Amino acid sequence: MYLAWKEIKHEKLRYGLIIGMILLISYLVYILSGLAFGLAQQNTEAIDSWGAQSVILDKDANTSLQQSMLTKSQTDKMTLTKKESYVGQSAIVAKEAKHAKVSAQFIGLDWDQFIGQKLVLTSGHKPTQANQIVVDDGFKTSNYQLGDKIQFNSNTETYTIVGFTHNAKIDIAPVVYGDLSTWQTLKKLPDTFVASGIISQNAKYQPGVDQLKNYSVAAFINKLPGYSAQNMTFTFMIAFLMIISLVVIAVFLYILTIQKIPNYAVLRAQGVPAKVLVSNTINQALLLVFGGLALGVGLTALTAAALPAGVPIAFNWPILGGVTIGILLTGVIGALIPVKLILKVDPVSVIA
Amino acid sequence: MENKNTIEMHHIDKTFGHDTSKIQVLKDIEFTAQRGEMSLVIGPSGSGKSTFLTIAGGLQTPTAGDVRVEDTPLTAIPVKQRDALRLNKIGFILQAYNLVPFLTVREQFRFVDRIKGATHMTEDELMTLLADLGIQDLITKYPNELSGGQTQRVAIARALYPNPEIVLADEPTAALDSERVTVVGQLLHDLAKKHNKSIIVVTHDMRLKQYADHIYEILDGSMRQAS
Ligand SMILES: Nc1ncnc2c1ncn2[C@@H]1O[C@H](COP(=O)(O)OP(=O)(O)OP(=O)(O)O)[C@@H](O)[C@H]1O
Ligand SMILES: [Mg+2]
């Protein structure tokens, strides 16, 4: 460690640049994976917040809540427990005279069932009448407030915002929670249609109706429009970014070690064991990579705090941990690729 | 009785290259160094002096022949043990000085403490040595801030600091003026006489002749005792 540290201190510019490069690379990887994960989360935030284990849909609806429809004759044959909740989903455009239009997802609920019961509000109260709604905090970025009266699509009925809730997004759009009867109105459906589907906290809930099927939440989420395609794109993007970054870091540390060989030859001539030089190389690589990573994490935290609320960024600790360990490991590997040269360094080469 | 010989070399051959580009640098060298004595090896440039010295200290292996350092056969022991021997017994003053560029003069010594431990000079002894060599004011400087002669003197001090039994010096006075040559010559002589060390100096600097007990000459790869 002594040598490693002295060397860094003596050549501040060179080592500063390397730390700076590791900082930038880790910053890039952290921020991009944070943004990708944040966006992915917006597909499923609402579903995650319900604690759903399974989703009951029409088996011919291609696993899509929006395409599914439950009829009264079907639901009459089922018994719902406290762990099941009807939902009626409809894509809408919310508008209000003073504010910008918002593309949103309407979720109609029976407010006596678990989703309505367990919904956590950040302000306001839950609806007590059919024309009252609770909306995602995302509406606040367009300056919507409690008490605003909103129209949906081209309908003339108005609905009053009585509450806000946090982290309620589905299909990357903010959610409007309202009454199931409003869902029927939006879809222009007769009373014989009850809901789009049933969300259950019981993974094994069986509807007992031939036409309906229980889907696991994972299967359901994978079928969300664009979700798996989007995730695959991001996964590959970040994987390529990681691989290239790791190679770049490894190459830099390789060059760094190569440049040290003449100094190492001097030390070998003095009888310094090769072991000391190898551990010095590893220590120094770790020191540089740790330094760069720590600064990268700091910069990422600052950036995340400074980003406007509308930008989705979320950190998945297992992924970040993997990224961090990956960078540390490749740093050491890069520094150690020339270890054979260190071990074989010929003291005579510096004697002249 | 204890063996007074520190280094023994028998039938040493050294060739470089292969086939047509093959050159024989050393031919059948016989050499012995003893405790309490200073030997001088002289010869023209390119005659194989540095090659001889590095073989004597185990930095390179001879093509043929046998080298023993304090009765240990250098060619027969593993690299690790040879490193240890070099670290613990031998002080090399190399022709290219070989200071670590990112350590100050002071730290060059401190680093030796760290890996070697016990036997090095006391702080007082070191300060006296630095003062004798006229480099006591340079201890906070980095090698690139030193003149050639200053660097050479630091390299001498660095080699002597661990109190080696054997000192192998390659042109230790090449960059020094007459006054400093006297100091270094006397210093090496005293090490042999007062501290019972074995000193081998390779040089073409005839000013060092007066301090030596034995003088050898390398010519065309062969060594003979000179007058
Ligand atoms: N690694 C090597 N490969 C090939 N030839 C070498 C090698 N090392 C030394 N030589 C050759 O061996 C000969 C002796 O070299 P050496 O360095 O021992 O000379 P020297 O007597 O120390 O010279 P100087 O007084 O200039 O330092 C030279 O001709 C040199 O070119
Ligand atoms: Mg030479």
Would you give per-residue pLDDT tens digits along chain A (352 residues)?
A: 788 889 999 989 999 999 999 999 999 989 998 998 888 888 888 999 999 999 999 999 999 999 999 999 999 999 999 999 999 999 999 999 889 999 999 999 999 999 999 999 999 999 999 999 999 999 998 999 999 999 999 888 999 999 999 989 998 899 999 999 999 999 999 999 999 999 999 999 999 899 999 999 999 999 988 888 988 998 898 889 888 988 888 888 888 888 888 888 888 877 788 888 888 888 898 899 999 999 999 999 999 999 887 788 888 888 888 888 888 888 888 888 878 888 877 777 766 5
For chain A, say whether B219 makes contact (Cβ under 8 Å): no
The number of distinct structural domains making up chain B is 1
pLDDT tens for B116-128 read 666 788 889 999 9
Ligand 1 nearest atom to the CA of residue B204, by list position: 25
Buried b (16+ CB within 10 A) or exposed e, A280-304: bbebbbbbbbbbbbebbbebbeeeb
- We report the CATH number of the domain holding residue B189 as 3.40.50.300
ipTM score for this prediction: 0.78
Under 8 Å CB-to-CB from B173, ≥6 apart: which residues?
Answer: B152, B180, B181, B184, B185, B203, B205, B207, B208
Per the DSSP assignment, residues forming a β-bridge with A88 are A108
Residue B171 contacts A, CB cutoff 8 Å: no
Give dist(CA B40, CA B226) in Å, integer.
Answer: 10
Identify the three-state secondary structure at position A152. strand
Decide: A144 and A135 in contact? Cβ < 8 Å. Answer: yes
Residues 2-31, chain A: which have Cβ within 8 Å of B? 2-3, 6-7, 9-11
Residues of B in contact with A266 (CB under 8 A): 98-100
Which of B26, B59, B171 to mutate against chain A (most A CBs within 10 Å)?
B59
State how far the alpha carbon of A189 is from the alpha carbons of A71, A128, A194, B205, in Å.
11, 23, 9, 109
**Closest alpha carbon within chain A to B46:** A352
Whether A278 and chain B come into contact, CB under 8 Å, resolves to: no
Whether pTM exceeds 0.80: no
Contact A65, A57 (CB under 8 A): yes
d(CA A230, CA A244): 21
Domain hosting B206: range is: 5-225
CB atoms A351 and B50 under 8 Å: yes
- Select the residue of A272, A276, A351 nearest B96 (Cβ to Cβ): A351
| Facing A269 at nearest CB: one of B59, B114, B115 | B59
Q: Is B144 on the interface with A (CB under 8 A)?
A: no
Buried b (16+ CB within 10 A) or exposed e, B10-41: eebebeeeeeeeeeebbbebebebbbbbbbbb
Instruction: Give B78's DSSP letter.
Output: -
Residues in chain A: 352
The two tokens of residue A64 are: 């899509």
Select the residue from B102, B110, B160, B165 to test the A interface by mutation, using most A Cβ atoms within 10 A.
Answer: B102
- How many Å apart are CA A151 and CA A96, to the nearest integer? 6
The dihedral through the CA atoms of B205, B210, B216, B217 has a sign that is: positive
Domain coordinates in residue numbering, chain A: 2-43+228-350, 69-195
Residues with CB under 6 A from ligand 1: B 16-17, 25, 43, 45-51, 95, 204
* Residue of A7, A270, A348 to mutate for B, most B C-beta atoms under 10 A: A270
Closest to A96 measured CA to CA, from A143, A50, A133, A56: A143
CB proximity A250 to B under 8 Å:
no
Mutate to test the pocket of ligand 1, among B19, B51, B55 (most ligand atoms within 8 A of CB): B51
Q: Which of A114, A157, A153, A113 is nearest to A132 (CA)?
A: A157
